[in-house]
């Protein structure tokens, strides 16, 4: 079933290629049909692929697939359990939205702006676009294979396939040097991650019969060091992919360079594979040492706070959203850390809450972050501008996009009644519960403070984004030329928005499957009666009901209020009480202009002032302008210098290869003499 779905998605990719190929033919015979075909195949494929995942999540039996010994490292195993199913659903949901969006995004003419990716390249290279669509399809397939792989070799292959395809998607706009630089940075980082994975599995598979996950789980690791090594390597490798601070440095560059629907896929799904990896490793190990959980919790807190602070400092909409991915990864890791502590200190219920919160937030973030990136893409597509300081008042010109984006913002800030709130609520509950235990792990409840701070900062940041981008009046001519984007681009947005709202309004239907997935991670402990009873009674019982009721209640209240408001305002018993339109009251100043509006820089300044040491912001302030530029402290402060140092070593060594022949012979003789010395030292005859 899954295979069938994947096959269909591949077909969609091929269809895209064929269709573009036909574009070179005179009269573009297949142009229209081809695009339809691509979308239909993609949709059908994702649906078919999602079905088995749904079945498993709704309590169906988990399936396993075995392919005999393809390589000396044992059979290839594929399996589908609840944990995989959650990610599979995410992949297909975001995949179909981004795929369809991308098709219109590239097909419909875009404004030639500072930042728009598609158009020139299309004119240059029609096959390039088709390649992009095919790559999207391939990326989805590799992602799906990754989450169902149950042996090292297929896992690594799917992993690298994912990395390569996303690299080629990132550098879609190859004619821009900065895009190529960002792509190279991404590629190098992800390759380093792959090498860490090599180390991880080499270390883990040391005593294993073969390299299937089952035998890895059966390995008895070195009592003290074993799981420490495995978990550290896993944190490094998967952390690089997930982009947790300080391993996030590649993420803003890459996500900003990619076409928007690719950024949506990257930020919504690809980086989540790091989370999947961590959870899978925990599930396989069964046990998690306390120190590791503390470490993850700490990294989560740091990533969350720094991520949102850095995001607040950005004015490039895509970089801003990218840093928010870092923040949300932080929140997810807080959940993972709490869950790990729950395992380490034998509080299975807390473990369930933590992992369930992390999983649900992963899923939710996938939805609303891709929604936001697609919304940003529509804005860039319409205005050609990525710097929010130049935009404004777009909600009048692109109302549907604005509405969807606003909804996404409410969701990512974690406000009721949307899905972001539900998942953060789960994590919070884990935090509160762990505060009530008797052992040392209750200190972890203080992580909630970080969550609260993150919430406040995120609210500020998205107030800034929505307010500056969509509200107010246009700050720059580019915003005046904006237009609502084609249905092909708005529908995916609205679909994702609907998903966010759905999860937010009816969590009672979402929590049980998520808990099933969390049970996979918690493993044996999940089956002990205390958990099952409490979970059943409490988590997907009254609490879920109540929060569902809350969400619905709040929504209903707002709707009623809105209706009342319409009546109050709308009724016109006499002329004096009519609704009148005037320009904004400027406190007596007679001729306000759009340039006078509050800028994003000044909006964020008062908060950032209190985080100055970590923001890495350079402020440019004169009597006339107030602007801030934000780099990335880790990238500029650590990674680049390190690389320069190595390059200097290389340059110093270069003359060794410029010597004359006799010197080369001298190297040879030197090697020989060294060996003879070793021979004498080692003992001549013994």
The footprint of another protein on residues 574-603 (CB under 8 A) is: 576-587, 592, 594, 596-598, 602-603
Q: Are 80 and 62 in contact (CB under 8 A)?
A: yes
Between 51 and 614, CB nearer to another protein? 614
Question: Which single residue is written with the structure tokens 């493993």?
Answer: 523
Token digits for 680?
A: 């004498």
How far apart CA 46 and CA 1 sit, in angstroms, is 11
User: Alpha-carbon dihedral of residues 416, 421, 426, 432, nearest 10 degrees?
Assistant: -70
Q: Which helix (DSSP H) or strand (DSSP E) does residue 397 occupy? A: helix 394-397
The whole-angstrom separation of Cα 280 and Cα 87 is 12
Q: Site residues for another protein, window 533-572 (CB under 8 A)?
A: 538, 542-543, 545-550, 553-554, 557-558, 561-562, 564-565, 568-569
Instruction: Retrieve residue 397's tokens.
Output: 């010109």
If one asks whether residue 117 binds another protein (CB under 8 A), the answer comes out as no
Residues 38-57 contacting another protein, CB under 8 A: none
CB contact set of 211 (below 8 Å; sequence gap of 6+): 73, 74, 151, 152, 153, 201, 205
- Listed in sequence order, the DSSP H helices in 149-259 are 152-170, 177-204, 213-218, 225-242, 250-257
Asked if 285 and 277 count as a contact pair (C-beta separation under 8 A), the reply is no
- The sign of the CA dihedral 268, 302, 311, 399 is positive
Closer of 61 and 72 to another protein (Cβ):
72
Taking CB under 8 A as the rule, does residue 366 contact another protein? no
Q: Is 318 exposed, middle or buried (0-12, 13-18, 19+ CB in 10 A)?
A: buried
433, 521, 616, 639: which one binds another protein (CB under 8 A): 433
Residue that is written with structure tokens 């606003």 in the block: 406
- Residue 686 C-beta: closest distance to another protein, Å: 7
Q: Is 84 exposed, middle or buried (0-12, 13-18, 19+ CB in 10 A)?
A: buried
Q: Any contact of residue 424 with another protein (CB under 8 A)? A: yes
Q: Per CB under 8 A, does 153 bind another protein? A: yes
Residue 335 structure tokens: 């959940």
Task: Give the number of other CB atoms < 10 A from CB of residue 633.
Answer: 18
Backbone angles phi, psi at 241, to 5 degrees: -70, -40
Given candidates 29, 64, 71, 114, which one binds another protein under the rule CB under 8 A? Answer: 71
- Can residue 404 be called a binding residue for another protein (CB under 8 A)? no
Distances (CA, A) of 304 to 1, 178, 311, 448: 38, 27, 11, 12
Residue 152 CB, nearest approach to another protein (Å): 9
Residue 468 found at the interface with another protein (CB under 8 A):
yes
Q: Of 35 and 117, which has the nearer Cβ to another protein?
A: 117
| Residue 291 interacts with another protein (CB under 8 A): yes or no | no
Please identify, using beta-carbon distances, which residue of 474 and 523 lies nearer to another protein: 474
Among 604, 630, 634, 639, binds another protein (CB under 8 A): 604
Q: Which of residues 169-188 bind another protein (CB under 8 A)?
A: 171, 174-175, 180, 183-184, 187-188
Residues 470-529 that bind another protein (CB under 8 A): 471-473, 508
Our CB check for another protein shows the closer of 45 and 430 to be 430
Which 223-242 residues touch another protein, going by CB under 8 A? none
* Residue choice 442, 476, 491, 627 for contact with another protein (CB under 8 A): 442
How far apart CA 13 and CA 169 sit, in angstroms, is 14
Q: Check whether the bond before 417 is cis (ω within 30° of 0).
A: yes
Q: Compute the least distance from the CB of residue 43 to another protein, in Å.
A: 28
621 binds another protein (CB under 8 A): no
In the complex with another protein, which residue's Cβ is closer, 123 or 583?
583
Total binding residues for another protein by CB under 8 A? 152
**3-state secondary structure (DSSP) of residue 75:** strand
Radius of gyration of the chain (CA): 27
Kindly tell me which of 91 and 149 has the beta carbon lying closer to another protein. Answer: 149
Nearer to another protein (CB atom), residue 36 or residue 673: 673
Helix axes of 152-170 and 126-148: crossing angle, nearest 10 degrees? 150
Residues facing residue 212 across a β-bridge:
151
CB of 451 to another protein, least distance (A): 8
Beta strand 74-80 with 63-71 is antiparallel
Q: Nearest distance from residue 462's CB to another protein, in Å?
A: 8
Q: Which is nearer to another protein, 303 or 395 (CB)?
A: 395
Stretch near another protein under the rule CB under 8 A, chosen from 36-44, 203-211, 271-279, 333-341:
203-211
Nearer to another protein, 81 or 173 (CB): 173
What is the smallest separation between the CB atom of 342 and another protein, expressed in angstroms?
16
Q: Pick the closer one to another protein by CB: 524 or 568.
A: 568
Token couple for 437: 């235990």
**Cβ proximity to another protein, 55 vs 120, nearer residue:** 120
Q: In which residue are the tokens 């390589």 written?
A: 71
- Structural tokens at position 202: 């080499």
Q: How far is the CB of 233 from another protein (least distance, A)?
A: 10
The distance of closest approach from Cβ of residue 104 to another protein in the complex, given in angstroms and rounded to an integer, is 25
Pick 36 or 564: Cβ nearer another protein = 564
String of contacts with another protein for each residue 312-351, x by CB under 8 A: ----------------------------------------
Nearest distance, CB of residue 552 and another protein, angstroms: 9
Residue closer to another protein, measured from CB, 55 or 640: 640
Q: Could you report how far apart the first and last alpha carbons of the chain are, in Å?
A: 65
Out of 1, 463, 480, 614, which residue is the one contacting another protein (CB under 8 A)? 463
Q: What is the DSSP secondary-structure string of 487-554?
A: HHHHHHHHHHHHHHHHHHH-HHHHHHHHHHHHHHHHGGGGGSHHHHHHIIIIIIIIIHHHHHHHHHHH
Query: Of 36 and 559, which has the nearer Cβ to another protein?
Result: 559
Q: With binding defined as CB under 8 A, does residue 98 bind another protein?
A: no
Looking at residues 627 to 646 of the shown chain, list those that interact with another protein (rule: CB under 8 A).
Answer: 643, 646
Q: Smallest distance, Å, CB 239 to another protein?
A: 16
**Nearest distance in Å: CB 235, another protein:** 16
Rounded to 10 degrees, the C-alpha dihedral 336/337/338/343 comes to 90
Which residue lies nearer to another protein by CB, 468 or 518?
A: 468
Min CB(250)–another protein separation in Å: 13
């Amino acid at each position: 079933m899954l295979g069938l779905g994947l096959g269909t998605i591949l077909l969609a990719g091929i269809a895209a290629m064929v269709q573009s190929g036909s574009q070179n033919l005179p009269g573009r015979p297949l142009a229209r049909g081809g695009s339809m075909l691509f979308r239909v195949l993609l949709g059908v494929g994702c649906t078919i692929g999602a079905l088995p995942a749904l079945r498993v999540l709704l309590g169906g039996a988990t399936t396993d697939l075995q392919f005999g010994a393809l390589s000396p490292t044992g059979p290839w195993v594929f399996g589908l359990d609840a944990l995989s199913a959650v990610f599979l659903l995410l992949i297909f949901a975001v995949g179909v939205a981004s795929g369809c969006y991308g098709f219109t995004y590239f097909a419909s003419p875009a404004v030639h702006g500072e930042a728009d990716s598609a158009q020139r390249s299309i004119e240059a290279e029609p096959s390039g676009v088709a390649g992009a669509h095919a790559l999207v399809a391939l990326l989805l397939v590799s992602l799906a294979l990754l989450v169902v792989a149950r042996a090292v070799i297929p896992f690594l292959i799917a992993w690298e396939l994912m990395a390569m395809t996303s690299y080629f998607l990132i550098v879609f706009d190859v004619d821009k040097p900065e895009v190529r630089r960002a792509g190279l940075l991404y590629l190098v980082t992800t390759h380093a991650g792959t090498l860490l994975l090599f180390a991880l599995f080499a270390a883990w598979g040391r005593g294993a019969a073969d390299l299937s996950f089952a035998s890895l789980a059966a390995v008895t690791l070195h009592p003290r060091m074993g799981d420490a090594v495995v978990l550290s390597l896993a944190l490094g490798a998967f952390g690089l992919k997930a982009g947790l601070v300080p391993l996030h440095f590649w993420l803003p560059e890459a996500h900003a360079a990619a076409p928007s629907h690719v950024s949506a896929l990257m930020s919504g799904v690809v980086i989540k594979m790091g989370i999947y990896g961590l959870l899978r490793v925990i599930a396989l190990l069964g046990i998690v040492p306390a120190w590791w959980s503390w470490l993850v919790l700490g990294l989560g807190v740091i990533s969350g706070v720094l991520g949102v602070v850095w995001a607040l400092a950005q004015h490039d909409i895509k970089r801003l959203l990218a840093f928010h991915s870092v923040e949300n990864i932080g929140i997810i890791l807080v959940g993972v850390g709490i869950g790990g502590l729950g395992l380490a200190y034998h509080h299975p219920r807390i473990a369930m809450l933590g992992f369930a919160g992390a999983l649900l937030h992963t899923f939710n973030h996938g939805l609303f972050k891709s929604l936001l990136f697609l919304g940003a893409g529509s804005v860039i597509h319409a205005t050609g501008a990525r710097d929010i300081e130049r935009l404004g008042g777009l909600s009048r010109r692109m109302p549907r996009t604005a509405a969807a984006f606003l909804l996404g913002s409410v969701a990512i800030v974690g406000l009721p009644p949307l899905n972001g709130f539900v998942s953060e609520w789960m994590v919070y509950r884990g935090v509160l519960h762990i505060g009530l235990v008797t052992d040392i792990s209750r200190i972890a409840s203080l992580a909630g403070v970080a969550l609260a701070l993150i919430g406040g900062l995120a609210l500020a940041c998205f107030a800034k984004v929505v307010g500056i981008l969509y509200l107010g009046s246009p700050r720059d001519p580019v915003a005046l030329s904006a237009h609502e984007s084609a249905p092909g681009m708005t529908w995916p947005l609205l679909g994702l928005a609907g998903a966010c709202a759905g999860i937010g309004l009816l969590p009672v239907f979402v929590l049980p499957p998520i808990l099933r997935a969390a049970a996979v991670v918690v493993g044996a402990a999940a089956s002990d009666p205390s958990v099952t009873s409490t979970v059943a009674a409490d988590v997907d019982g009254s609490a879920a009901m109540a929060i569902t009721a809350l969400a619905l209640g709040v929504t209903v209240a707002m709707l009623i209020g809105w209706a009342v408001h319409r009546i109050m305002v709308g009724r016109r018993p006499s002329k004096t009480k009519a609704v009148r339109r005037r320009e904004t009251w400027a406190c007596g100043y007679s001729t306000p202009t759009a340039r006078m509006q509050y800028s994003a820089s000044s909006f964020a300044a008062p908060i950032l002032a209190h985080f100055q040491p970590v923001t890495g912001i350079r402020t440019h302030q004169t009597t006339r302008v107030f602007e801030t530029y934000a780099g990335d402290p880790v990238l500029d402060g650590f990674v680049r210098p390190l690389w320069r140092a190595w390059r200097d070593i290389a340059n110093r060594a270069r003359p060794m290869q410029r010597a004359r022949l006799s010197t080369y012979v001298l190297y040879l003789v030197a090697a020989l003499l060294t060996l003879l010395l070793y021979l004498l030292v080692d003992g001549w005859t013994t």
